Chains A and B, each alone.
Chain A
Amino acid sequence: MIDNLLLGFSTIATFPALFAIVAGVLIGIICGVLPGLSASTAVALMVPFTFGMDPVVSIVLLVSVYLAGEYGGSITAIAIGVPGTPAAAATMLDGYELTKQGKPGLALTTSVVASSIGGMIGAIILFCFSEPLANVALSFGAPEYFALAVFGLAIISSLASDNLKKGFIVMFIGLFLKTIGLDPFSGEERFTFGVPKLMDGLGFIPALIGLFAMASVFTDIDKATAKSRTIALSFAMPKIRQLLSMWKVYLHSSILGSIIGVLPGAGATIASFICYNEVKRFSKKKDQFGKGCLEGVAAPESGNNAVVGGSLVPLLTLGIPGSGTAAVLIGALMLHDIQPGPLLFQTNGNIVYGIFAGLFVACLAQLFFGLIGVPVWIKVISAPKALLLPVIASISVVGSYSYNNSIVDVWVMLGFGLLGYLLKKFNYPVSPIILALVLGGILEENFRRSLMISEGDFSIFVTHPISAVLLLFAVLSLLSPILFNRLAKVKS
């Protein structure tokens, strides 16, 4: 084991490899910050540049971009309430609250620290447990994925705990919007109105940009005047003791994030929300979540960066991508004549252990550049709204266009912008839509696939143990806030 570790670090201890890590981290952070460029798009864009590179250097570069991209999304989520990546929508819940209170430094620093720790724990888990975790990925069939999606949706009860009814209304709007496109089994068109672009459904990234970025522009136009500034911001940073005291949150979320990362198809967004929910469930200051709680920033960030290590497990051991980004990585590996799969550890051990080591070093680089960046970001968001809003609006348009080179996506973005604006105006929570859009497809597809496999027998969902347990958790997590409320009422 020590030999392998040394092999890994010696593989990447070359100037080009270290340079690739630093460059990858910087590129990743920048792509993460720009809405529309998610971590997976950033990696896909980098692939052509790696054609001529040494395999180790190119793969380390891509992994660094992936890791830092997942972190970078949280910066804008905290700073201006616009998640740069889908997973950062969970970070925004508490992060942006802190900015509104004039304390962005607290959230930004916590985010980079939690991300980097999450990434490192993810790398360690990848190194130590790749073999057993690969079996977890295989044990998930259609009913298990369905149950996971139900469990994910049940989080709404905690995201919208102050008004469950509104939360559910928004969730069902999201689930409905997710049905637009081709039916996954019969291939029939649903609500596409003859627009070919809509056959693939509403783009998720444009929807995200609309719901948060464009909607915040609309909302601010409603209120702001030309001279209004964002609230006075302090450069206050969290105390080291404060950061250290959250070690349980980092550990808990990183382990959870790695496991979710292992499951093909689940990915960082689900991990972020589940980690947020679980940390809140076990936290002593439950009532502070959603009002600017540092734990609420740390949990999703540790979680979504741990996903990176986790998603590499099925990639390296089975040749199956654990996330959309990992799918792109497989393509890049194959370009270099490296077949990810069960034999990779024997045939290309240096690459496998080089990736572990690279991921680890990339976390350190991310911590370093992330911390340097914090004051810069605070400066940026201190700009007057009259400057900030047009910039956000134009980045939103460009970002959603560049997602697929399609003007339809810009309309989708604007539509979601309007929806987000209306929801905010009438005090409905926005995040349940994100959950519904992420999970709706997994939910429907695996529900129907399960029934095809069982020939219409519904008991398949409870006779499979993993699925039964997840469904039970879902019911408990749905009912718990209602029960707690009852209890509180009885007490008082």
Chain B
Amino acid sequence: MLLKKMIAVCTFAVSALTITPAMAAYPEKPITLVCWSSPGSGHDLMARYIAKLGEKHIGQPIVVVNKKGGKGKVAMSYVLNQKSDGYVIMTNTRSMTKRLKPTGGSIAIDSFKYISRVVQDPFVIVVKEDSPFNTMSDLVTYAKNNPNKIKVGGYSTQSVDEGLVHDIEKISKINLNYIPYKGGKEPVVAVLGGHIDVAIANPSEMMTSFQAGKLKALAVTTEDRFSPFDDTPTLKEQDINNVTVHWRGVMASKDVPDEAIQKLDNMIQKVLEEPEFKKFLNSSNMLSGYISNDKFGEYVTKQTKK
């Protein structure tokens, strides 16, 4: 066992020595990964796992720095003000890019190069166990007769949650009363306490109450059903043609050389295959959502244009 490990370490060291000079210089010093939320948040944990597991794949330590504030604007302007050499990169999320304009101004969608999408976090539409609604069509029928009466809670305004509610309203031609909350768990608590009727939540925010039978799931917002919500149909299956997932990824400023972007993308792809990262995704109820850099930018632009 020990011998095997030794051999592995030696081969790794030798290959590292022989391969490194052949590759271009990047990266020759530690990389800073800027995270726009506070330490300990789900988003921050993703950054820290990338940093921890990515080091051996890219050959340099990765340091996570938290720059909180302004819904990501503080972190974005910090990254844009650094040298565009690929040593300062940052995490991004759908809610952050959703607030940006496609172009123009000091910070816009085209100020960045998109390295890779890392995880996706789908939504589950939940009601309390004793709610009269069992399917989306129950909800839609009730809303048609009682416009603006169903109180739907979600995270924040101008958020992905609110966008989802508005999409459902538009597709089903109904009016709902959207109530924004400060955190993702608060709407779930409000549903459990009977203060509002429906909550839009990510799996991590409602899983335990769902498993304890205190919540019913009306729909999931993904393309296909996913575990452990195998009995919950998607919106599409219920004639609401909509797929909405929240995602988190990594980006860099637009002048960073493509070569560096490619290397970082390769690293993230390898991190996603690590068992430890898979375990992290599993325990925090997120799904892998890898999209490589050549498609990620297009994907973000498509979601922003309105």
Q: In chain A between 301 and 350, which residues have their CB closer than 8 angstroms to a CB of chain B? A: 318-321, 327-328, 331-332, 334-337, 339-344
Chain A residues with Cβ below 8 Å from B13 are none
Chain B 68-104 interface 0/1 with A at a Cβ cutoff of 8 Å (1 = within): 1111011001000000000000000000000000000
Main secondary structure of the interface of A (DSSP, over half): helix
Contacts of B193 in A (CB 8 A): 138-141
Tell which of A138, A198, A340, A453 touches B196, judged by Cβ atoms closer than 8 Å.
A453
**In whole angstroms, how far apart are the Cα atoms of A337 and B45 in the complex?**
14
Q: A48-B48, A185-B157, A334-B283 are in contact. Are A200 and B42 (CB under 8 A)?
A: no
Asked if B185 and A321 sit within 8 Å, CB to CB, the answer is: yes
Q: Are B208 and A196 in contact (CB under 8 A)?
A: no
Known: A200-B70, A340-B208, A342-B212. A142 touches B195 (CB 8 A): yes
Per-residue CB contact flags for chain A residues 116-157 toward chain B (1 = under 8 Å, else 0) read 000000000000000000000111111000000000000000
In the complex, A393 has a CB within 8 A of chain B: no
For B190, what are the chain A residues with a Cβ–Cβ distance below 8 Å? Answer: 141-142
Q: A453-B179, A453-B195 are in contact. Are A341 and B212 (CB under 8 A)?
A: yes
User: Do the beta carbons of A318 and B179 come within 8 Å of each other?
Assistant: no
How close is A54's CB to chain B, nearest CB, in angstroms? Answer: 16
CB nearest neighbor in B for A135 = B193
A182 at interface by CB-CB < 8 Å = yes
> Do residues A445 and B208 form an inter-chain contact, with CB atoms below 8 A?
no
Interface string of A168-192 (1 = CB under 8 A from B): 0000000000000010111100000
Q: From B69, B186, B208, give the contact of A342 (CB < 8 A).
A: B208
- Tell me, rounded to whole Å, the shortest Cβ–Cβ distance linking B115 to chain A: 23
Q: Contact check, B208 vs A339: say whether CB atoms are below 8 A apart.
A: yes
B69 touches A197 (CB 8 A): yes
Contact of B189 among A48, A138, A196, A335 (CB under 8 A): A138
User: Taking the complex as formed, is B139 at the interface, i.e. its CB lies under 8 A from any CB of chain A?
Assistant: no
With beta carbons under 8 angstroms apart, the residue of B67, B73, B185, B186 that contacts A405 is B67
Return the CB mask of B32-43 against A: 1 if under 8 Å, else 0: 000000111110
A44 and B70 within 8 A (CB): no
Is the pair B70, A199 in contact by a Cβ cutoff of 8 Å? Answer: yes
Q: Which has the most chain B C-beta neighbours within 10 Å: A45, A184, A198, A335?
A: A335
**Are A455's CB and B177's CB within 8 A?**
yes
**Cα A344 to Cα B68 with chains together (Å):** 32
Q: B301 — which chain A residues lie within 8 A by C-beta? A: none
Q: Which of B69, B70, B177, B208 has the most CB of A within 10 A?
A: B69
| A196-B73 in contact given A185-B180, A404-B68 (Cβ < 8 Å) | yes
- 8 Å CB contacts to A: which residues of B154-211? 156-158, 177, 179-182, 185-186, 188-190, 192-196, 204, 207-209, 211
User: How many Å lie between the Cα of A139 and that of B189 in the bound state?
Assistant: 10
Q: Tell me how far the C-beta of B63 lies from the nearest C-beta in chain A, rounded to whole angstroms.
A: 12
Interface residues on A, range: 35 or more
Does residue A221 face the partner (Cβ distance < 8 Å to B)?
no
Contacts of A69 in B (CB 8 A): none
Q: Are B207's CB and A341's CB within 8 A?
A: yes
Which of A200, A321, A341 interacts with B211 by CB under 8 Å? A341
The reply to whether the CB of B262 lies closer than 8 angstroms to some CB of chain A is no
Most buried by B among A196, A197, A327, A331: A196
Instruction: Find out whether the CB atom of B148 lies under 8 angstroms from the CB atom of A404.
Output: no
Task: Tell me, yes or no, whether B219 is within 8 Å of chain A by CB.
Answer: no
Assuming the contacts A332-B40, A334-B284, asked whether A182 and B71 have C-beta atoms less than 8 A apart, the reply is yes
Q: Which of A47, A184, A320, A343 contacts B40 (CB 8 A)?
A: A47
Complex formed: what's the CA distance from A404 to B151 in Å? 36
Return the chain B residue nearest A329 by Cβ.
B40
Q: Does B266 contact A (CB under 8 A)?
A: no
B206 CB to closest chain A CB, in angstroms? 9
CB–CB A404/B69 < 8 A? yes
Query: Contact at A264–B189, with CB atoms within 8 Å?
Result: yes
In the docked arrangement, what's the CA distance between A389 and B69, Å?
Answer: 31
Would B39 and A197 count as touching, CB distance under 8 A?
no
For residues 40 through 85 of chain A, which have their beta carbon under 8 Å from a beta carbon of chain B? 43-45, 47-48
Whether B65 contacts A405 by the Cβ 8 Å rule is: yes
Question: Can you sample 16 A-B contacts with CB below 8 Å?
Answer: A48-B39, A137-B189, A198-B70, A318-B192, A319-B209, A320-B185, A320-B188, A335-B280, A337-B279, A339-B208, A340-B208, A341-B207, A342-B214, A343-B212, A405-B65, A453-B195
Which A positions have Cβ atoms within 8 angstroms of B? 43-45, 47-48, 137-142, 182, 184-187, 196-200, 264, 318-321, 327-328, 331-332, 334-337, 339-344, 404-406, 445, 449, 452-453, 455
Contacts A47-B39, A184-B180, A187-B158 known; 10 new A-B pairs at CB < 8 A = A184-B157, A199-B69, A200-B68, A327-B40, A328-B39, A328-B40, A331-B41, A342-B211, A404-B66, A406-B69
